[in-house]
Amino acid sequence: MTDATPLLLKANLKQLKLPTMLAEHDKLAREAADRDEPYDAYLLKLTEVEVAARTANAIAARIRAAGFPVAKEFDTFDFTAVPTVPKQKVLELTRRDWVGQRYNACLIGGSGTGKTHAATAVGLALCRQGVRVKFATAAGLVTDLEAAQQQHRLDRLLAALERIDLLIVDELGYLSFSRGGAELLFQVFADRYERGSVLITSNLPFGEWGTIFQGERMTAALLDRLTHRCHIFEMNGESYRFRESMKSKADKATKPKK
Ligand code: ADP
Ligand code: MG
């Protein structure tokens, strides 16, 4: 080892784009020397820190790219609030197999029943397993599709959506679309049939989807594809938001004033 060794090593690690090894090699080398560790054990540890950092960065990048509105996990989801929802089956959505099999999922239920919360928790769990996820509201997605069409870059947007493994479409049914918007959304769903998964949340039961897609034929064709291989959950019950706010009001009312 010459005086130049540390500098040359740093330069090489930089050139090879191994930033975590660059940051950690000194400290790990000292530890290895103290413990009389063999060279390969040191090299293994050094590569392990790089691999771990890369994995964490990739997960963070996937979560950022997915565009979740807020981070919600299942550890804060109270399944007792929706007793008719099969907890184990919902939790199974956090395992990537169904996306690998190009299955779809639908969460149908009234406002405040935890659809967005559950959809986000599923998406986050899958991002951690290497699944490419995109979270969009139905209205936001249609707006993006229409803008892309007007700006002659629809093909590019559709190609980008094709690279997504799981497209989460939240709040289908709250707003109805123009004929053109509905057709674009239909195209996205139709393109994904057996090629990519979608997770849809909606306040409308399937029987009322005709109002979203304007026309029974388009709706029937869509539902046929969408529900062919699909995990469907009815999230019915009281609004969690409503229940919590009533509970806190009741608590305040019964609490003796200090
Ligand atoms: P939806 O999308 O069905 O309208 P949200 O998922 O937005 O409902 O839920 C509304 C609020 O209530 C959110 O803050 C969410 O975290 C919370 N929430 C809903 N259901 C539950 C639940 N079962 N356990 C814990 N929090 C819940
Ligand atoms: Mg919602």
pLDDT of 258 reads: 45
Question: What's the pLDDT at 31?
Answer: 97
State whether the beta carbon of 114 lies less than 6 angstroms from ligand 1.
yes
- Any atom of ligand 1 within 6 Å of the Cβ of 72: yes
pLDDT at 167 (0 to 100): 98
Residue from 90, 201, 240, 247 whose mutation best tests the ligand 1 pocket (most atoms within 8 A of CB): 240
Q: Is the CB of 81 under 6 A from ligand 1?
A: yes
Q: Identify which of 130, 222, 221 has the alpha carbon closest to the alpha carbon of residue 169.
A: 222
| Length of the chain in terms of residues written | 258
pLDDT by 10s per residue, the chain, length 258: 568 999 999 999 999 999 999 999 999 999 999 999 999 999 999 999 999 999 999 999 999 999 999 999 999 999 998 888 999 999 999 999 999 999 999 999 999 999 999 999 999 999 999 999 999 999 999 999 999 999 999 999 999 999 999 999 999 998 888 889 999 999 999 999 989 999 999 999 998 998 888 788 888 988 999 999 999 999 986 667 666 766 666 676 665 544
pLDDT number for residue 175: 82
Measured between alpha carbons, how far is 217 from 152 in angstroms, rounded to an integer? 28
- What's the first-to-final CA gap in the chain, in angstroms? 74
Residue 19 exposure: Cα atoms within 13 Å on the Cβ side: 3
**Cα(170)–Cα(142) distance, integer angstroms:** 12
Q: Which atom of ligand 1 is nearest to the CA of 118?
A: 6
Q: Which atom of ligand 1 approaches the CA of 76 most closely?
A: 25
